[in-house]
Amino acid sequence: MKKLLLAAIMAVVITGCSSNSSYVKVVDDSMKDDISIEKINERVNSESGLKELQVLGENETNKYMKLRYRVVWFDKDGFEIKSIGQNWTELPVYKNADFSIHIVAPNKAAVDYRLFINK
């Protein structure tokens, strides 16, 4: 009986961990050595109930560059949620400097995301 209960708990844990499809993707291979993504913070804002992202990165070059990013949000069933965040947004990134991208979900149904970054 204990083995059966342990197997059921493990199945729930594995299923729960594998359902997250959120990620950050640098889509321009020419800049893969130019920037690095250091950390991704996620939280649900206690006042608004909206998911927030904070992506921390670094420009590892001696050049100023303009990055662009866009985010696509998904509901709990994996369906895309249309939002203004799907448009590309420019981000100035100074030479040898850290940068931060802060994004707020369009509504409370948004649970997963895909963030794309390019030049």
Residue 11 located in a structural domain: no
Read off the pTM: 0.75
Residues 58 and 36 sit within 8 Å (Cβ to Cβ): yes
Our count of domains for the chain comes to: 1
Residue among 61, 72, 77, 78 at smallest CA distance from 106? 72
Asked whether residue 16 is domain-assigned, the answer is: no
Tell me, what CATH number does 103's domain have?
2.60.40.3230
H-helix or E-strand containing 16?
Answer: helix 2-18
Please provide the average confidence, as pLDDT, over all residues in the chain.
83
What's the mean pLDDT in 56-64?
A: 95
Q: Is residue 85 part of a domain?
A: yes
> pLDDT above 70 covers what percent of the chain?
83
Q: Quick check: is 6 in a domain? A: no
CA-CA-CA-CA torsion for 115, 65, 84, 21, nearest 10 degrees?
0
Q: Please, which residues have CB within 8 angstroms of residue 68's CB and are 6 or more apart in sequence? A: 88, 89, 90, 91, 117, 118, 119
Q: Which is more confidently placed, 35 or 16?
A: 35
31-40 confidence digits (pLDDT tens) = 888 999 999 9
Is position 14 within any domain? no
Q: Is residue 35 part of a domain?
A: yes
Name 10's Cβ contacts closer than 8 Å, sequence gap at least 6. none
What residue numbers bound the domain in which 84 lies?
22-118
In a domain, 9, yes or no: no
